[in-house]
Amino acid sequence: MASPNAPFLSNGTVSIINPQYCASSQMDLAVARKVKILSFGNFFVIDINDNIIFKVEGAFLSFHARRVLLDPAGNPIVTLQNKKMSAHHRWEAYRGDGTDSSNLLFSAKRPSMFQFKRELDVFLARNTEQNVCDFKVKGSWLKRSCVIYAGESSPL
């Protein structure tokens, strides 16, 4: 069962950032790097027709490994920041361009310090106890894919 913290829309879709970024059906997306030599940390998220859905910009030599997710026009949607001094390699996501604690959307971390499978536990900002994750991401580098689950339940 999905976490009660998850913001479900009337059609059953989960909206974490903004409903405008929710698709009515499954979408296949790919991550592509910029070709420029000095563009470390910059990526595009594209659909199957090579349309840019999102851009990701970030500094290569940054203490917090900060990344900003942008819409195709270059407007900031979410700032992702690696939380230093975290045993589980935690990332935090903030609304817009910045890391003000009042704009925290969610955090993601590895379920354990040592793991053989690629998994992330995602906790919405209002889930302060973090006893049970709101979402779980299970990925495969070999298959170049991932599945997102609502808590410990079925895939979304």
Q: Note the pLDDT tens digit of each residue in 28-86.
A: 888 887 655 455 568 889 999 999 999 998 865 556 678 899 999 999 999 999 876 66
Between residues 36 and 135, which one has the greater pLDDT?
A: 135
Per-residue confidence (pLDDT) for residue 35, from 0 to 100: 58
- The CATH number that applies at residue 119 is 2.40.160.200
Q: Note the pLDDT tens digit of each residue in 85-131.
A: 665 578 999 999 989 999 999 999 988 766 666 889 999 999 989 88
Per-residue confidence (pLDDT) for residue 1, from 0 to 100: 42
Q: Chain-centre distance of CA 27, in angstroms?
A: 15
Query: Does residue 13 sit within a domain?
Result: no
Query: Does residue 107 sit within a domain?
Result: yes
Query: Does residue 136 sit within a domain?
Result: yes
- In sequence order, what DSSP letters do the residues of 7-72 get, joined into one string? -B-TTS-B-SS-GGG--SS----EEEE--STT-TT-EEEE-TT--EEEEEEE-SS-TT--EEEE-T
> Into how many domains does the chain fold?
1
Query: Does residue 23 sit within a domain?
Result: no
Q: Binning pLDDT at 50, 70 and 90, where does residue 9 land?
A: low
Element (H, E) at 3: none
